[in-house]
Amino acid sequence: MRRPPGSSLVTVYLARRISTLVATLIAASLVVFALLAVLPGKPAQVILGTQATPESVAQLTKQLGLDKPLWQQYLDWMRGLVTGDYGNSYISQLPIGHQIAQSLAVTAPLVGLGLAVGLVIAVPFGVAAALLRRRAAGTLIAATSQVGIAIPNFIAGILLILVFAVKLGWLPASGFVTWSTDPWQAFTSLVLPGVALGVVEGALISRYVRSAVLEVLRSDYLRTARAKGLSRGRALVRHGFRNGSIPVLTVIGLEIPSLIVGAVVVESVFTLPGIGTLLLQAVANRDLIVVEDVVMLIAVTVLVVNFLVDFSYRLLDPRIARA
């Protein structure tokens, strides 16, 4: 008999995974920096416009620290990221850290709401599609999810606006008041965007839930559970839930980037002042340092979430607790 995993094994695993994570993050930062550093056109020139004198351009370049060698600019930027000093926007001169924090207060709840809506849709429909697979209802659910996947979230958003804002007038179609001003109104502004984001994810995830449940239904251990006297439903809940959630968790992990990127688009549909809006404005204004910071923030989030999902398998599935 093999021994259960010792804590030292977990430490080794963590150390290895974290070092990979850090290496990937550094590589990602290099990509972002390089892409924006080598592009034609000096930021100072862009900011000041074509009318600016060479002297003022040179002065602004120096002021922004863009006259230093590239490696030093990179190190300065990295130091800022690590210490939380994100610098000031080229354009508005506002501290970027503050802007990002404000935007996150919109985007983070939006992504959370989207994921929640997605799961609320995916789990019951996926389970139903699996249990009813031989009936018309099961086929109908599977076909509906196929259609749901094909609808881009911005179209879903516009349809929701059309029905719930324009026709029924139940919920706001756009805009956002801060949480501190009116938490309830802030929440209602996020309902339609959250649903728009979640419906499409839900359709996708429901397909994976369906196949996970089918897998469980076919399993020998479920038959054993039935042979022990558990009813069909109880056997499925007691023995299927944890087993079935392992593949579904994989998909959720893989879908986090889509949710974040989806949020960028959905914010644009509902004109919410979130990370996406901040990023798109910065792109439009060629406010490169903001673009760099926000892109890096998203990349870090994606990689860290991926890491956490990976780690949570180990809690769910004792078979991969070693290795």
Partner 1 sequence: MSSMQVTVAPVEPLPEEELARRPSGGLAYRLLHDASALVGGTIVLCICLAALVAVVWTPYDPLAVDPSHALQPSSWNHLFGTDEYGRDVLSRLLAGAKLILYSGAVSVAIAVAAGVPLGLAAAIRGGLIDDALMRFVDLIYAFPALLAAIVLAAAVGASTTSAMIAIGVAYVPVFARVTRSSALQVVGSEYVLAARAYRRSTLAILWRHVLPNIRATLIVQMSLLFSLAILAEAGLSYLGLGTPPPEPSWGRMVEEAQSYLSRDPMLAIWPGIFIAIAVLGFNLLGDGLRDVLDPRLRSSR
Partner 2 sequence: MTLLAVEDLTVRFGDAAVVADVSFELERAGRLGLIGESGSGKSMTALALIGLLPEEVTVSGRVLFDGHDVISMSEARRCALRGDRIGMIFQEPMTALNPVMRVGNQVAEVVRLHRGGSRRSSHERALELLERVEFRDPPRIARSYPHELSGGQRQRIMVAMAVACSPALVLADEPTTALDVTVQAQMLRLLGRLVSEEGAALVLISHDLAVVSSTCDRLLVMYGGRIVERGPTATVLERPRHPYTAGLLATSSAVSEGAARGPELPTIRGSVPAAGRFPAGCVFRSRCDRATDECKTMPPLEGDEHAFACWHPIEQPAAASVGGEA
| Residues lying near partner 1 in the complex (CB under 8 A) | 20, 23-24, 27-28, 31-32, 35-36, 39, 134, 146-147, 149-155, 158-159, 161-162, 166, 207-208, 211, 214-215, 257-258, 260-261, 264-265, 268-269, 279-280, 282-283, 286, 288, 291, 295, 298-300, 302-303, 306
Which of 38, 136, 147, 227 touches partner 2 (CB under 8 A)?
227
Alpha helices in the chain (DSSP H): 7-37, 43-48, 54-63, 70-83, 96-131, 136-150, 153-160, 183-217, 220-227, 232-235, 241-269, 275-285, 288-316
Burial class (CB in 10 A: 0-12, 13-18, 19+), 4: exposed
Would you say 183 or 223 has its CB closer to partner 1? 223
Greatest Cα-to-Cα distance within the chain, rounded to the nearest angstrom: 85
For residue 94, the SS3 value is coil
Nearest to 102 by CA among 259, 272, 296, 257: 272
Which of 230, 265, 280, 300 touches partner 2 (CB under 8 A)?
230
d(CA 219, CA 130): 14
Would you say 4 or 69 has its CB closer to partner 2? 4
302 binds, among partner 1, partner 2, none (CB under 5 to 8 A by kind): partner 1
155 binds, among partner 2, partner 1, none (CB under 5 to 8 A by kind): partner 1
Would you say 55 or 220 has its CB closer to partner 2? 220
Which of 211, 219, 268, 312 touches partner 2 (CB under 8 A)?
219
Query: In whole angstroms, what separates CA 139 from the centre of its chain?
Result: 30
Any idea what the Cα angle at residue 85 is, between residues 81 and 89, rounded to 5°? 100
141 binds, among partner 1, partner 2, none (CB under 5 to 8 A by kind): none
Query: What's the sign of the alpha-carbon dihedral 299, 305, 311, 317?
Result: negative
Would you say 36 or 186 has its CB closer to partner 1? 36
Residue 170 per-residue DSSP state: -
Which residues, in sequence order, are bridge partners of residue 95? 88
Which residues, in sequence order, are bridge partners of residue 88? 95
Q: How far is the CB of 24 from partner 1 (least distance, A)?
A: 5
Any idea of the CA torsion for 105, 300, 9, 317, to the nearest 10 degrees? 60
278 binds, among partner 1, partner 2, none (CB under 5 to 8 A by kind): none
Judged by CB under 8 A, which stretch of 11-19, 119-127, 224-232, 297-305 contacts partner 2? Answer: 224-232
Would you say 62 or 234 has its CB closer to partner 2? 234
d(CA 298, CA 306): 12
- Can residue 214 be called a binding residue for partner 2 (CB under 8 A)? no
Burial class (CB in 10 A: 0-12, 13-18, 19+), 133: middle
- Can residue 1 be called a binding residue for partner 2 (CB under 8 A)? yes
- Can residue 228 be called a binding residue for partner 2 (CB under 8 A)? yes
Which of 242, 254, 308, 311 touches partner 2 (CB under 8 A)?
242
Question: What radius of gyration, in Å, describes the C-alpha atoms of the chain?
Answer: 24
Residue list 261-280, contact with partner 2 (CB under 8 A)? none
Q: How far is the CB of 4 from partner 1 (least distance, A)?
A: 29
Residue for token pair 């706001």: 172
Would you say 20 or 224 has its CB closer to partner 2? 224
- Can residue 223 be called a binding residue for partner 2 (CB under 8 A)? yes
Would you say 70 or 166 has its CB closer to partner 1? 166
